[in-house]
Structure 1
Amino acid sequence: MTSPTTPTTSRPVQPGQVLIFDADDTLWEMNLLFERVIEDYLDWLEHPTLDRAEIRRILDDIEAANAVAHGYGSKVFLRSLGECLEHLRARPATARERTEIDELAVALVEHRVELLPGVAQTLDTLGSRHELRLLTKGALDEQQRKIDASNLAHHFAGIHIVAEKRVDTYVELAATHGLEPGRTWMIGNSPKSDINPARRAGMNAVFIPNRHTWVLEHDEVDPDDDGVLRLDAFTDLLAHF
């Protein structure tokens, strides 16, 4: 069985491929910021009977429901933190409590971006060999602000912000922009949003795990799928593309 981070190909592919990049937790750290806020939130709650793991499970369930109903992003996340508080305390959150929750999440609200190591240099080199595109999901204005803050937009022939990444998202993207699926690669950290739906749409995929990947983005990646290249780090792309 193939190790999750063992490349399934050893030689570079031909130039002229289309490389589509995920943004959050592929180009820059994002869920790590959410995790830091959650840790501070759990400290702040100081629940008298439930331990941190039990509260986290409740919060995960609330986040999952809100993702379906309201999408993604810091505003939805803050909503989930408030609803979790109300669930645990069996009453509405006070204005002061909501203000304190907002203060815990300043880094998210300000859309700070922390590029992963070697991202800018790697994109610069890959852009001389292939067509690069960006495909990210979430709130349009929020994702655009992060892209602007990253100073990476000039690397991409197209930037696509969508509400969700499903198989039809990839099919439509290929049809709209004349992409040949067999020469197109989706590169990301999320099995659920990046790897598996892209493969079902006939594209290749590069799986670069991030240990901070959001639990709701977890899924199994077929270890025997030769259409998935597994790498340890973003800079490893240079050895294959």
Structure 2
Amino acid sequence: MPTRCQPGQTLLIDADDTLWENNIYFERAIAAYISFLDHLPHTPQQVREALNEAERETIRTHGYGLGSFTQSLIACFEHLTAAPINEHQHALIRSFAQSIADQEIELLPGVAELLPELATRHRLILMTKGSQSEQADKLARSGLGPHFNAVEIVAEKNPAAYADVVARHGCAPHSTWMIGNSPKSDINPALAAGLHAVFIFHKDTWVLEHAEINAPPDGQRLLEVESFAKLADIF
């Protein structure tokens, strides 16, 4: 059991799949999409691999968010069918993405109870990536906004983005932590930027966020916990 940190730490906290469920809704939409394409001569695994590749390409040009996801579904469909999408198909595919937007915010276990408590001892900054409007809307609907001293919605979470946030908010690296479920976006780039990190396991983390977790450089700490509630033992 780690020794609890002194009050006054700065906690950069991820949003999707750290504070509330997110990827499970994308997975349900993708399952419906794959079922829709069931008549094609491709296995579900082949469709998923094609969609993953379409998402990688779309993110490069459109960033993250439901608009980008919809573009990926359409690009994947046109690639697999080798034909333009018609109006009916387009509407149906858009409905898969809309099903995600229609979801209520479901806070992960322990968040509603612990986040206000953490805010009494530490400075909390929400740090998430994606569409500015979509992420701001999720935060507003979550009811968690008042517990954060600041909100940072960035296009990509890389070492430069972390360094920029640290500089803008005058964070001391020795007392600043990134907390999240993504090795690729939350843990490894934060460690590369000189911060400590806490990895919170989530069984449904998006496949494009999977990566091996890097060892922390000398003088930095990396902790791993199985739930948000376990942060009470650390902070």
- TM tier, smaller: over 0.9
Check the 8 A contact 1:111/1:142 in 2, yes or no: no
Deviation at 1:106, TM superposition (A): 2.6
Match of 2:230 among 229, 233, 236: 236
Deviation at 1:112, TM superposition (A): 3.2
Cα deviation code 1:59-84 (max 9, x no counterpart)? 00000111111100011101111111
Q: Which residue of 2 aligns with 1:18?
A: 10
Check the 8 A contact 2:69/2:97 in 1, yes or no: no
Letter of the structure 1 residue corresponding to residue 12 of structure 2: I
Cα deviation code 1:135-179 (max 9, x no counterpart)? 010011111111111110000000011111110111111111110
**1:199 has 2:191 as partner:** yes
Q: Unpaired runs of 5+ in structure 2?
A: none
Letter of the structure 2 residue corresponding to residue 238 of structure 1: A
Q: Distance in 2 between matches of 1:204 and 1:224?
A: 8
Q: Which residue of 2 aligns with 1:107?
A: 99
Following superposition, which runs of at least 4 residues in structure 1 exceed 4 angstroms of deviation? 223-226
Secondary structure of the structure 2 residue equivalent to 1:114: coil
Deviation at 1:223, TM superposition (A): 5.2
Letter of the structure 1 residue corresponding to residue 38 of structure 2: E
**1:82 has 2:74 as partner:** yes
Q: Which residue of 2 aligns with 1:133?
A: 125
Q: Which residue of 2 aligns with 1:186?
A: 178
The residue correspondences of 1:16-165 to structure 2 (distance < 5 A) are 16-110=8-102, 112-165=104-157
Distance 1:111 1:143, change over 3 A: farther
Check the 8 A contact 1:111/1:146 in 2, yes or no: no
Letter of the structure 2 residue corresponding to residue 191 of structure 1: P
Q: Distance in 2 between matches of 1:133 and 1:86?
A: 41
Distance 1:76 1:224, change over 3 A: closer
Q: Distance in 2 between matches of 1:85 and 1:107?
A: 18
Secondary structure of the structure 2 residue equivalent to 1:115: coil
Q: Distance in 2 between matches of 1:59 and 1:37?
A: 12
Secondary structure of the structure 2 residue equivalent to 1:133: strand
Q: Which residue of 2 aligns with 1:227?
A: 221
Q: Distance in 2 between matches of 1:238 and 1:232?
A: 12
Q: Distance in 1 between matches of 2:216 and 2:153?
A: 31
Deviation at 1:110, TM superposition (A): 3.1
Q: Which residue of 1 aligns with 2:207?
A: 215
Deviation at 1:224, TM superposition (A): 6.7
Root-mean-square deviation (Å): 1.3
Percent of aligned pairs with the same amino acid: 45
Q: Distance in 1 between matches of 2:40 and 2:98?
A: 27
Secondary structure of the structure 1 residue equivalent to 2:112: helix
For CA contacts below 8 A with separation 6 or more, give which structure has more relative contact order: 1
Q: Distance in 2 between matches of 1:158 and 1:104?
A: 33
Check the 8 A contact 2:174/2:195 in 1, yes or no: yes
Letter of the structure 2 residue corresponding to residue 15 of structure 1: P
Q: Unpaired runs of 5+ in structure 1?
A: 1-8
TM-score (norm 2): 0.95
Check the 8 A contact 1:25/1:213 in 2, yes or no: yes
Secondary structure of the structure 1 residue equivalent to 2:121: coil
Cα deviation code 1:8-47 (max 9, x no counterpart)? x621111110111000110011111100100011111113
Deviation at 1:91, TM superposition (A): 0.8
